[in-house]
Amino acid sequence: MASAQVCPVVGTTNTVLPPKHPDFDFDKPGQVCPVTKATTDHHHNLSKHPGIFDTSEDLSNADNCPALTRIVSQPEQQALDEAICPVVGTVSSVLPPSHPSTKDAKDGDVCPVTNAKFEHHKTKVHEHPSLAQAAEGAVCPVVGHA
């Protein structure tokens, strides 16, 4: 079985959009997501979430979503030090190496990469281990590949 593609920005293998995601044309190139800043140029494998009948329900806790709990039970996903985000699904809690430092971030700050609000991610995401001493071709300790 081929392993799922891991997003280099948020470390997710999830391809299902959240239930309340704005509608857009999946086939139109160059669109920018108003939620995460992702572009349709790099996300050709997305699909809409199956119908949710009670849209007044608080969907901010994705831990009980049957689609995501199935995904997070897969071994390749467990190896990513995963968490479940209500916006992008299963994600690595370790930021990518090129992500700006969050050391001085404060409530109200917005991530320049994904539009995420810092107060929703405080203590839930961690800086990537330093790559300064990594040998060429080393395996990433977070996602398990070079």
> According to the model, what pLDDT value does residue 38 have?
82
| CA torsion angle 74 78 80 84 (round to 10) | 90
Rounded distance, CA 120 to CA 65, Å? Answer: 19
Scanning the structure block, which residue is given the tokens 């985000």? Answer: 85
pLDDT averaged over consecutive 10-residue blocks of the chain (146 residues)? Answer: 66 78 81 82 78 61 63 59 72 81 88 85 81 80 64
Q: Which among 128, 144, 59, 63 has a CA at the least distance from the CA of 93?
A: 128
Rounded distance, CA 88 to CA 97, Å? Answer: 19
> Taking the CA atoms of the chain, what radius of gyration do you get in angstroms?
16
Q: Is 117 helix (H, G, I), strand (E, B) or coil?
A: strand
> According to the model, what pLDDT value does residue 55 have?
54
